[in-house]
Amino acid sequence: MPRPSLDALARALAAGQPRREIVRRVAALAATALVAGRPARASAGQSQAAASVQLASVPCLCSGSRCQRCLIGLTGGGVVQTATGEAQLVLFASRLEVDSGDPAAGFVRWVVQGEEASGLTLESVGAIAYGPVEGDEQAREVRGTMQRNGEGEYPFVLRAVDLGTAATGQDTASILVGNRMAEGGDFGYEGGGTLVGGDLQLLDSVAPIAAP
């Protein structure tokens, strides 16, 4: 996804635009970027169809026999109040169809704005893993690899909690990035807190895509 789109979404999240509209924008832009970007990474022997991303979906918001389709995943972001200042988060993660070779698709962008590490931009690259957190139905984890200010590759795990529409301003997100604990490691960052501006949304309860 082009950086201007991410920046625009982050501003919209922080400004508190309507929850449902933001969810639709993030999911639509993310799905478009993932589908458009995947074939470019295919090997010379792969067809464009074989390299396309197939995001999994489930029936939702049914009225009688008519249902919409909801992605299986998590999206949103905004301003996270950490112990050392504010961080800007943009997040999209969705499961892929069962016959896909990847467990999930998406991206994470975490920009540190606090005094301790101002100017630090962490962005995911490559494949991700996405799944529930045992013992917490509202929490999800995203794992993968990130670049620091456009360089290097560092493992990360992000945990996000969506407390629902009735709990505005109470969603939380935390992230751990780096290889500092490993032999020869040179970078580590940890931060997290409450989203004081913005929102997180589990996608199986909204309808960001149209029914076929």
Q: Which of 192, 132, 131, 184 is nearest to 154 (CA)?
A: 184
pLDDT at 46: 37
pTM exceeds 0.85, yes or no? no
Residue pair 23/208 in contact by the 8 Å Cβ criterion: yes
Burial of 197 (C-beta count, 10 Å sphere; 0-12/13-18/19+): middle
What is 131-142 written as a DSSP string?
EEETTEEEEEEE
Q: Which residue positions in the chain have pLDDT lower than 70?
A: 1-53, 98-102, 114-118, 181-184, 207-208, 210-212
Distance CA(2)–CA(32), nearest Å, equals: 11
